[in-house]
Structure 1
Amino acid sequence: MNKTLLATALGACLLPALANGEAEQTKTNIKSGGATTVYDTSRNAFSLPAKNLSILRRDNFFIGNAFFKQPWVPTPASTKARDGLGPLFNTNTCQSCHVKDGRGHPPLEEGDDFLSTLIRLSIPATSDEHQALLKTQGAVAEPNYGDQLQPKANPGIKPEARPRFTYETINGQYKDGSTYQLIKPTLHLDNPAYGDFHPDLMTSARVAPVMIGLGLIDAIAEADILANADPDDKDGDGISGRANYVWDIEKQKTVLGRFGLKANQPNIAQQVKSAFHGDMGLTSSMHKQQGCTAVQTDCQKAVHGGTPEVEDKVMDKVVFYSSTLGVPARRNATNPEVIKGEQLFTAANCNSCHQVSFKTADYPAIKELSKQTIMPYSDLLLHDMGEGLADGRPDFLATGREWRTPPLWGIGLVETVNQHTRFLHDGRARNLSEAILWHGGEAEASKQAFVDMSKADRDALIAFLNSL
């Protein structure tokens, strides 16, 4: 990396990272990320380096942040360090989806682009060849469009299609008589440019998740995650979390999945490199070929930005950055309403899936993440969430009704950081209450407990969630 690029990287990241308005730690705050915990409640709350990150390693954090934030451009370009975008893509920068390292959202107005929501595509496995693909890819890609819809393209190349949602209103009522409304999205793919979609096309809309604490999750021992699995519900509590096992491209073997909405990625490096490839059309040492299908001939003929387009030394910095974002402290822990809400959360058995804490194992790659007591509020396992949330699309061992329990740490700061409160895998929930009301399957009893609560108790439970 040349000196000009390094200076640009540091200049782009250092000022906002240091001017973070960090709040003073008080006894009402809890270290959700152990010694990595940061104390900031501003729009920068998700963008700070782990509190205990060595000063000698912070340059790597800031350089990775620069490549995370700065846009990539098509080839040919004078900017050789950031060229190679496309030919087909979803966005030109990681930050476009993970704004301020936070949570994406579906289009908020009719006609808006899908800027931070992507669409997974696949077809049923109907042959021995398809069955073989499931081992390494988790799903069978749509023949003309691949495994991810890319609605943008470089000049001279046709975007694949234009996605849009329409919504159905669902009316409901709490036990106390007060009413609520949910909105159920239906996905439409307009103007397909490369032929008709497969008649048995399966789709799944995925909103970009918050980036905090990824390295800590990677540092949890596999045995500690599996200790909470109960695939046959032997204890009879109605909760049967199970592990997803996925293909590790680098190791060339099947391993535990722990990242992604269906736990379909094994580690941060593969998650990041796959996002560069699928979201921005950028090749790396892991994904060496452009994602052009056989019918996308213009895509196949397009010039590329080098082999690979993202060098390992750049990718390593982005992976390091993604691994070392600090987790904000939990706030207002001594507030009486928050304490009441926590009790209700436990009484409703929400903590069966949203497990409060883990202790990370020894993590030699980033020693600051080792031996930390953390509070992600997730078991990182797959759970059947019912037909209401089903996308109908299997992913490795995950069925079309299963989702990984999402970590809840930082959830109360999403509105501040990202200026919205859209939750769940496709952003259909417009607030935390709606997110709970969509729970079904293994979480049906917990959802019903929320429905049966008084308004004061529901408010207290939401206050607890907003403290995380």
Structure 2
Amino acid sequence: MGVACQPGNGSPAPGLPPEPVPGFVEPGEEAPGGTTSVAGTGTGAFTQPAGNLSLERRSEFLVGEAFFEADWFPAPHARTDRDGLGPLFHAVSCLACHPRGGRGAPPGPGEPTLSLLVRLSLPGTKPWGAPVPEPTYGDQLQPLAVASVAPEGRVEVRTTEQPGTFEDGEAYSLQVPELVLSGLAYGPLHPETRLSPRVAQPMFGLGLLAAVPEETVRAWEDPDDVDGDGISGRANRVWSARQGRTVLGRFGWKANQPDLEHQNAGALAGDLGITSPLSPAEPCTLSQAECQVAPSGGVPELDARKLAALTFYTHLIGVPARQGVDRPEVLKGKALFHQTGCARCHRPRLETGPLEGYPELAGQTLWPYTDLLLHDLGEALADGREDFLASGREWRTQPLWGLGRTHQVSGHTRLLHDGRARSVMEAILWHGGEAEGSRERVRRLSREDRLALLAFLDSL
């Protein structure tokens, strides 16, 4: 690890694409989503239909987009196709948490926790491996409720500064978050409750990750670090209600969702209180009597046809094309990305296979910079929450494509699972565990090299 690849050096493992070549522009890098890539550069860069989507198929995309953007209302409501919000909820629409299809951020002082939610769990897992919910408040804290029900509580994020220095003496500071819960309406939390804040993730390119063959992901597993490189990624195995069995986990901060249909159904139920065929239960616990008897918007509140349209939409949002891939500082930064070992987890290139119902996604060469595996990122980023096979220190490798568009689309540059990092460099400096070696290599870079690395990441 840490040696830059050169043209023609080595061969990939069976079934994997060739190793990318740092320092050179490779065919297709400018279109990280293959032919699904789009040329959008404005605030709508994360909301465009896949570039190869036919006009006929775009109509279904627009139907799903309407459901993604629509506000929901408490039942009963004159709009019976949009009622059923809550009784407990976090937001009134998918778009509220993913503004412009982009990344969420933690709240500032006095702001609501709109695009940051707090998962609640107890130690251990349920029979199929899912987290054990807190008995009174359930799986996540709900700050909003319909008129007849008390909201569960409020969340404040307090921060302190943690100073540090690069090896050349330049100072930096990391922002250490602390969650403070107040106004708990249904009594105290269980004393062993674990709190895990999560910000919303970008929505584009998800269908392409769903189309990466399982054997590709599994080929990169090395749970026992047999090759001795310090990287021991492993796949999560999660429960699929649709298939009635455990399957590869791909989505969510801990790869705890098997596919986008389950991801969407879980978010609708957990964040909006909207039931669907895959998530038919309202987010009410036995301690919340008013919640259990509140009016419903139907059973389910989002039927299978609407869930299918939303799932279609989330599969086919195009990936923004890159710009400046051949700039000298970008190519230098690309080489440094490999030399520091970042590419060991943030795998640059993937190939997609067939995905039923989505011919547009098959046979694409991708540049997402992820291996979709779980990695131990150290105690500083740990949340203590077990999630199927994921430990409290493990997180799925986040894709880096679109990273340079974050500020333009989302209006901020907050990164990591709880948004604690205010910049790309801060996100790197928070990495520990398996990534500690790479972090320290970055910390030892000269200022010129650090700027080149950031120029490369900003070009993605």
TM, length-normalised to structure 1: 0.91
SS of 1:364's equivalent in the other structure is coil
Counterpart for residue 42 of structure 1: 42
Counterpart for residue 135 of structure 1: 128
Counterpart for residue 427 of structure 2: 435
TM-aligned CA deviation for residue 311 of structure 1: 1.1
Distance in 2 (alpha carbons) for counterparts of 1:141 and 1:390: 18
Gaps of 5+ in 1: 1-26, 126-130
TM-aligned CA deviation for residue 188 of structure 1: 1.3
Counterpart for residue 199 of structure 1: 191
TM-aligned CA deviation for residue 394 of structure 1: 1.1
The one-letter amino acid of 2:71's match is: P
Counterpart for residue 452 of structure 1: 444
- How do residues 144-223 of structure 1 correspond to structure 2 at under 5 angstroms? 144-223=136-215
TM-aligned CA deviation for residue 364 of structure 1: 2.9
1:345 aligns with 2:337: yes
The one-letter amino acid of 2:69's match is: K
Superposition misfits of 4+ residues, deviation over 4 angstroms: none
C-alpha contact 1:29 1:331 (8 A) present in aligned 2: no
The one-letter amino acid of 1:316's match is: A
The one-letter amino acid of 1:113's match is: P
- How do residues 34-433 of structure 1 correspond to structure 2 at under 5 angstroms? 34-107=34-107, 109-125=108-124, 133-135=126-128, 138-433=130-425
Counterpart for residue 10 of structure 1: none
Distance in 1 (alpha carbons) for counterparts of 2:376 and 2:191: 26
SS of 2:309's equivalent in the other structure is helix
SS of 2:358's equivalent in the other structure is helix
SS of 1:215's equivalent in the other structure is helix
Length, aligned pairs only: 434
TM-aligned CA deviation for residue 41 of structure 1: 1.1
TM-aligned CA deviation for residue 28 of structure 1: 10
Distance in 1 (alpha carbons) for counterparts of 2:127 and 2:190: 18
The one-letter amino acid of 1:66's match is: A
The one-letter amino acid of 2:116's match is: T
Distance in 1 (alpha carbons) for counterparts of 2:346 and 2:404: 15
Counterpart for residue 15 of structure 1: none
SS of 1:95's equivalent in the other structure is helix
Report the aligned-residue RMSD. Answer: 1.1
SS of 2:123's equivalent in the other structure is coil
TM, length-normalised to structure 2: 0.93
The one-letter amino acid of 1:48's match is: Q
SS of 2:174's equivalent in the other structure is strand
TM-aligned CA deviation for residue 134 of structure 1: 4.2
More helix by share: 1
Distance in 2 (alpha carbons) for counterparts of 1:220 and 1:347: 26
What do the CA deviations read for 1:270-319 (whole angstroms, capped 9, x no partner)? 00010000000011111112121001000001010011100111111111
Distance in 2 (alpha carbons) for counterparts of 1:121 and 1:377: 30
